[in-house]
Amino acid sequence: MRQSFIAGNWKMHKTPAEAVALAEELKKGLSDCKHKLLIAPSFTALDAVSKVVKGSNILLGAQNMATVEEGAHTGETSVLMLKAIGVDVVILGHSERRHVYGETDEMINTKVKLALEHGFEVILCVGETLEEREAGNAEKVVKTQTESGLKDVTEAQLEKVTIAYEPVWAIGTGKTATPEDADQIHKVTRDTVKNLYSDAAAEKMIIQYGGSVKPNNAAQLMSMENIDGALVGGASLKADLFLPIAEYDK
Ligand code: 13P
């Protein structure tokens, strides 16, 4: 049985004080939650939130990371900086990074390897655009993004990788993939891991779904065979929405 992994991606929301307040609320509300939990505040709030979740059952995530450890990279954040403030997990390849900021599969793969070399867990995001889905290419796109993102990652390192399937057309739009459609792409992703590594690696791989996950659709999505958790955007910004998602089976 794979453990459910529920993550909140706070994107570019909340000042440090607001982020600390929400983290405190979630820490209290989820203290006996049996699922794996993560919150990913923006960079300016990471240090403050790190102090709140330290020693709790909530992991701390960063939303991105530079491709190199240090140097003349104005505006970037290094793996070493994230390490120094207690970040556990780095979200990489989010569709907003791919499509708004032009990150390529090669850049994402470089980041994945760098994060893993430094002992971080990684959430590798994959997902097709509406255009790609309508052209019948959803499975192909997700397969390619999975293969490229995991290039030269060893099977031992894979233990620290979660994949998040986030169809771009379902992010922040209120449109969710049907549980059956999502499960189908999750299965393709799992088969891709199987072909790249082994049956055992595929069986263990946690694959989250992301894209308009809300309290009213979380349980149904999570009931699907290949959906092992959620990467939540908008609904992770309020405790009264995120708590019931994280406790979808209570
Ligand atoms: P929404 O839940 O707001 O659709 O965002 C999903 C997402 O992009 C999480 O990373």
What are the domain boundaries of the chain? Answer: 5-246
Give tens-digit pLDDT for 185-205: 999 999 999 999 999 999 999
Mean pLDDT for the stretch of residues 101-124: 98
Q: What gap in Å lies between CA 42 and CA 15, rounded to an integer?
A: 8
pTM: 0.98
Confidence band for 176, pLDDT divided at 50, 70 and 90: confident
**Chain mean position to CA 233:** 10
- Residues 45-62, mean pLDDT to the nearest whole number: 98
Residue 44: predicted pLDDT: 98
Best of 213, 214, 237 to mutate for ligand 1, by most ligand atoms within 8 A of CB? 213
Model pLDDT, residue 250: 87
**Average pLDDT, whole number, for the chain?**
97
Terminal Cα distance for the chain, rounded: 18
Distances (CA, A) of 14 to 23, 40, 237: 11, 11, 8
Tokens of 165: 């399937």
Residue 75: Cβ-neighbour burial (10 angstroms; 0-12, 13-18, 19+): exposed
The answer to whether residue 47 scores a pLDDT higher than 90 is: yes
- The rounded Å distance from CA 211 to ligand 1 centre is 5
- Tell me the CATH architecture of domain 5-246: Alpha-Beta Barrel (3.20)
Going from the Cα of 180 to the center of ligand 1, the distance in angstroms, rounded, reads 19
Give phi and psi for 89, each to the nearest 5: -135, 140
Mean pLDDT to the nearest integer, 163-182: 94
**Any residues with Cβ below 6 Å from ligand 1, and which?**
9, 94, 166, 171-172, 210-213, 231-235
Q: In what helix (H) or strand (E) does residue 222 lie, and over which residues does it extend?
A: helix 218-222
Atom of ligand 1 nearest to the CA of 96: 8
